[in-house]
A and B are shown apart, each in its own frame.
Chain A
Amino acid sequence: MKTLPIYGTMAEFASAQQLVDAARKTHSAGYTKIDAYSPFPVEELAEAIGFHKNYVPLVTLIGAITGGVLGYLMQYYCAAISYPTNIGGRPYNSWPAFIIITFEMTILFGAISAVLGMLALNGLPMPYHPVFHVPRFAFATKDRFFLIIFATDPKYDAQGARQFLEGLQPQSISEVPS
């Protein structure tokens, strides 16, 4: 992303409903590079800003399968190849006894993938972000709702975005320096 003097234009709303309505209007007005911020998860919001591709389940699935396969192979290698022990004539590859650790490894890798995958896809940790320049944004973790149009949006110009957002009756509007 090229550096721009302005990162975007941000509008503040008082309720989740207003934010969702505003986000829908902004998205249908043709702005594609937008984001919305809320102090708690609002299910409709992701769809309203046009976010559809959530890869977290895929990452988790791949992690879980990897964990299960590795878990079984580890036990197979240890008990049947590297250090075979004959216990009461049972087969070295005594798979019923390996089910539990295979299961635990599936869960462990799946859970780690879900967490790390979510953080990586979200680009976290990211202690610095331009939106934190807006003093009012501290309330995004309390009781305020924000909508931003990024300067990288093809339709974006500072004047036009401000006018458009004003039409949505926000509590306040601020320009986010980059």
Chain B
Amino acid sequence: MADQLNESTVVNKAPVIAPGHNFATVTDKISSIVLTRPISNGWVVGFAAMFMCTMMLLYALGYLFVRGVGIWGINIPIGWGFAIVNFVWWIGIGHAGTLISAILLLLRQSWRNSINRFAEAMTLFAVACAGVFPGVHTGRPWLDYWMFPYPNTMSYWPQFRSPLMWDVFAVSTYFTVSLMFWFIGLIPDFATLRDRAENKYARMIYGLLGMGWRGSARHWARYEMAYLLLAGLATPLVLSVHTVVSFDFAVGIVPGWHTTIFPPYFVAGAIYSGFAMVLMLAIPIRKIYGLEDFITDRHLQNSAKVMLATGWIVAYGYAVEAFMGWYGGNRYDQTLLWNRLHGPYSFWYYSLLICNLGIPQLLWIRKMRNSPVWLFLISLVILVGMWLERFVIVVISLARDFLPSSWGMYYPTRWDWMTYAGTIGMFLMCMFLFVRILPMISIFEMRTLLPEAEVKHKK
């Protein structure tokens, strides 16, 4: 009994950073991954595979541009297929990065310092993957500039009352702000790499990116203020992005879309899948690069708890959807509910329930939260589940709307799957490059976590 108690207290207080580190070891350990560690065969093979996936994406898109969207499985009534499903899925994954870097910063959760950098990188790459889909979904990407307001000879303007226009602004603002947040966080670390690099060109490139950062107290004061303000601005922004994405559906009148629960439930789902992706990346990365001292079990446990909490918000969303379908008395909503449970896509709906509600309940068990292997597998299941959720929302509602005469089925083609798999490849390829080119853990923020960084207040 006493032993058990002891063990659980130890587990609860797993440190954010392993003992025995100081400024120099933290700096050397993280910067050496970028500067001196030789490129392993595993990295080359992994990068090459993901590079080939990216080429497959380009091939699929090239063929799309030649032939048009007819190569996809979409048709009336299901005019929104994989493009929107994958867009929403990727945007959702991106949310964890901003949540970790901005919201947890404002909440003074300092454990975030060791995972915010690569979570932000993940956000950027995920939003970039998401951006592919609205860019190509018409099959005519050369007309994408029509999305933006610009003076033109036809003297007309975008329809600002449309949620799709809101989406353009929300997503592009999100990408820009995430990029700036990430870059600003990197400046002091670029300076560290500049001063550590042996290679002349590395020194030059990191020197240029570091902008001549020298760590002056005045600079730090303005820097910290700007960082805090960015966090303050990014916090409502990240909550707004998936809200706006959910408006794409909720403003429409299609059964299953036209509900007020969508914004909070989309945001929770986004954070749910985002943390799953963070764990799926963090667990192998910390193993391969020996970063268990910095990305400790505490980080994995906390992420697991966030997933559990947001998973239940998502569960609440499903429950409200089903309850309102039944209680609202609207026959189209009732039919939709019946269709989800018994219609042609019921297999997808039950798979979704198992992936998002069933299996993640294993996270209640402490042993599961402490086991990287199990966390990895559960995260994979959650990511699949969240993809299914978007599929269910988009496809089931469109397949069975008001009139039986306009019912139809949707069968994704190989081009749909190639495009989807291709974006996963592009995402992972960017991650492969990121871990070797940039410090994947924020070095200067790690220094602030060390006990020796503390300064007594003026007496």
Contacts and interface: CB of A to CB of B under 8 A. Distances in A.
A139 B405 CA distance: 74
Interface string A150-170: 000000000000000000000
B160 A60 contact: no
Interface string A56-89: 1100100010000000001100110011010100
Which among B160, B217, B220, B455 has the greatest number of chain A C-beta atoms within 10 A? B217
B373 interface: no
Interface residues of B, number: 67
Which among A51, A97, A114 has the greatest number of chain B C-beta atoms within 10 A? A114
B173 A108 contact: yes
Nearest to A46: B221
A177 interface: no
B218 interface: yes
What's the dominant secondary structure at chain A's contact region? helix
Interface string B415-459: 000000000000000000000000000001101100011111110
B223 A104 contact: no
A129 B212 contact: yes
A115 B180 contact: yes
Nearest to B27: A142
Contact of A143 (B27, B176, B247): B27
Contact of B188 (A75, A78, A141): A141
Classify chain A's interface size.
Answer: 35 or more
Interface string A30-72: 0000011111111111101101001111001000100000000
A-B residue pairs, 5 tightest by C-beta: A143-B23, A125-B211, A78-B157, A118-B226, A46-B221
Interface of A: 15-17, 20, 23-24, 35-46, 48-49, 51, 54-57, 60, 64, 74-75, 78-79, 82-83, 85, 87, 90, 94, 97-98, 100-101, 103-105, 107-108, 110-112, 114-115, 117-119, 121-122, 124-129, 131-132, 137-143
Interface of B: 22-24, 27, 149, 155-161, 165-166, 169-170, 173, 176-177, 180-181, 184, 187-188, 191-192, 194-196, 207-208, 211-226, 229-230, 233-234, 236-237, 240, 244, 247, 444-445, 447-448, 452-458
